[in-house]
Structure 1
Amino acid sequence: MITSGAHAAAGGTLPAGSALLLVGLVCAVVGAILAGAVLDGRGARFTAITGGLLTAQALGHLTLVVAAGHHHGGLGVTWSMAAAHLAGAVLLGAAISVVEYLYLVCVSVLCWLRLFATARRQPAAPRRPAEPRQSFAQSVLWASGLGMRAPPLA
Structure 2
Amino acid sequence: MKKLFAISLAIVALLALAACGSKTTVQDTISKELGLDVSGGKEVLNISTYSGGEGTSCVAVTLDDDTVLDAIKNNTEWKAFPLDETVQTLVYGMEDGTSKEGPFLADENGDPIVPEIQNGYYLLIDRHSDTKSNILERGSFNFTVGLYDTDSNTLYCCKLDT
Task: Give the alignment's TM-score, normalised by structure 1.
Answer: 0.20
Of Structure 1 and Structure 2, which has the larger fraction of its residues in helix? 1
Q: For CA contacts below 8 A with separation 6 or more, give which structure has more relative contact order.
A: 1
**Which protein is bigger by CA-based radius of gyration?**
1
Task: Give the alignment's TM-score, normalised by structure 2.
Answer: 0.19
Of Structure 1 and Structure 2, which has the larger fraction of its residues in strand? 2
